[in-house]
Amino acid sequence: MRRARIPSIMVAWVMTLTVGTACGASDTGSGRGTGPVADVAFKAGTTMDRLHRAGKIRIGTKFDQPGFGLQGADGIPTGFDVEIGKIIATELGIPVGGIEWVESTPKLREEHLETDKVDIVVATYTINAERLEHVDFAGPYYVAGQQIMTRKSDNSITGPETFRIGAKKVCSSIGSTPAKSITTYLKDQATQLILFDVYTKCADALEAGQVDAVTTDNVILTGFVAQHPEDFKLVGARFTTEPYGIGLKKGDDTFRAFINGVLEKIAKDGRYAKAWTGTAGKYDTNMPEAPAVNRY
Ligand code: GLU
């Protein structure tokens, strides 16, 4: 299958190898780093100090989303979220080789932060009130919107309203905001909404004719369409607003303020634009303006 995923045992082996060969402060990991590691020191007792001293950070991201977080053959993900994660590591004085990338699917993001499986989540992660009960967010650093993807040959779906008629099946990811938002457009949720843990499975189901559409954020769908322009297309306008934040453990206000500071800095010094151009910008050449962070 074209979008088949790399077996996790192989990924674990490659990642151990990669982390194990990391070689000090100037290592930028496979030549895809963000520049020299910052010469920094942090106040004792802060998360920044703990991570900096360890020289390691665990970052939850997506492994199946072209442009934002897509696992390569070497097991290491690439994408805009990945670049943002690398910049945060760099600002903590952690070499790129000191990053452990963890796949955080929509249903697992809060759990990964709450059970200390990751230090931060950078994963097309919409800031909303429900999630803020469990985690905190730095950012936003990008604003997306929900859209619909169909098979290229299908002209029967024009937007979310088409699902009100019934019959058409739409796929999304468990625990995502699009899976919830689309329910208001469905005539019969039980038969029309198909959910998987990752969007790649939705794209496979769409191609196989098991569903009629996939819904999630426009930038995720744009990545799938760019990879398979002969199979898929986007239809209709965006119908939600999805501000992406960097998830972190609830109550760690000092760490949140630090990450917000990094986001403000990179919006001005060119690193935000560079991160976009080399990743999602290959599919969407409109350079986004970094949104103002919300220091709540
Ligand atoms: N941004 C939306 C969310 O956080 C959809 C994309 C995703 O699932 O990562 O749920």
Query: Among 103, 242, 244, 246, which residue has the most ligand 1 atoms within 8 Å of its CB, making it the best to mutate?
Result: 242
Find the 282 Cα to ligand 1 centroid distance in Å: 21
For ligand 1, residues with CB inside 6 Å are 106, 123-126, 173, 176-178, 216-217, 220, 242
Dist CA 124 CA 220 (whole Å): 8
pLDDT for 11 beyond 50: no
Mean pLDDT, to the nearest integer, of 206-225? 97
DSSP letter string, the chain: -TTPPPPHHHHHHHHHHHHHT--STT--TTT---SSPP-----TTSHHHHHHHHT-EEEEE-SEETTTEEE-TTS-EESHHHHHHHHHHHHTT--GGGEEEEE--GGGHHHHHHTTS-SEE-SS-B--HHHHTTEEEEEEEEEE-EEEEEETT--S--SGGGGGGS---EEEETT-HHHHHGGGG-S-HHHHEEEESSHHHHHHHHHTTS-SEEEEEHHHHHHHHHH-TTTEEEES---S-EEEEEEEETT-HHHHHHHHHHHHHHHHHSHHHHHHHTTGGGT--SPPPPPPP---
Closest ligand 1 atom to residue 220 Cα is 6
Give the pLDDT score at 36: 58
Rounded to a whole number of angstroms, the distance between the first and last alpha carbons of the chain is: 45
Give the residue whose CA is nearest to atom 10 of ligand 1.
176
Q: How far is CA 42 from CA 73, 110, 213, in A?
A: 36, 26, 48
Find the 36 Cα to ligand 1 centroid distance in Å: 31
Find the 106 Cα to ligand 1 centroid distance in Å: 6
- Cis previous bond, 140, omega within 30: yes
Both tokens assigned to 107: 């249903």
Model confidence at 183, in pLDDT bands (50, 70, 90)? very high
Closest ligand 1 atom to residue 175 Cα is 10
Residue pLDDT, tens place only, 97-129:
999 999 999 999 999 999 999 999 999 999 999
Dist CA 62 CA 198 (whole Å): 9
- The percentage of the chain sitting over the pLDDT mark of 90, rounded to a whole number, equals 85
SS3 state of residue 274:
helix
Residue pLDDT, tens place only, 26-84:
333 333 445 557 688 999 999 999 999 999 999 999 999 999 999 999 999 999 999 99
Closest ligand 1 atom to residue 173 Cα is 8
Question: Dihedral sign, CA of 198, 204, 207, 212?
Answer: negative
Closest ligand 1 atom to residue 62 Cα is 9
Contact assessment for residue 138 and residue 256, using Cβ atoms and an 8 Å cutoff:
yes
Give the pLDDT score at 3: 54
Dist CA 4 CA 215 (whole Å): 20
Give the pLDDT score at 16: 32
Starting at the edge strand that comes first in sequence, how are the strands of the sheet with 242-249 ordered? 99-103, 57-61, 120-121, 242-249, 135-144
pLDDT for 6 beyond 90: no
Find the 94 Cα to ligand 1 centroid distance in Å: 27
Give the pLDDT score at 200: 96
- Least confident residue range of 14-28, 56-70, 167-181: 14-28
Find the 38 Cα to ligand 1 centroid distance in Å: 31
Find the 131 Cα to ligand 1 centroid distance in Å: 11
Closest ligand 1 atom to residue 216 Cα is 5
Q: How far is CA 257 from CA 137, 245, 262, 295, in A?
A: 10, 13, 9, 7
Residue pLDDT, tens place only, 211-220:
999 999 999 9
Dist CA 48 CA 89 (whole Å): 10
Helix (H) or strand (E) holding 139: strand 135-144
Closest ligand 1 atom to residue 179 Cα is 10
Residue pLDDT, tens place only, 123-155:
999 999 999 999 999 999 999 999 999 999 999
Find the 146 Cα to ligand 1 centroid distance in Å: 9
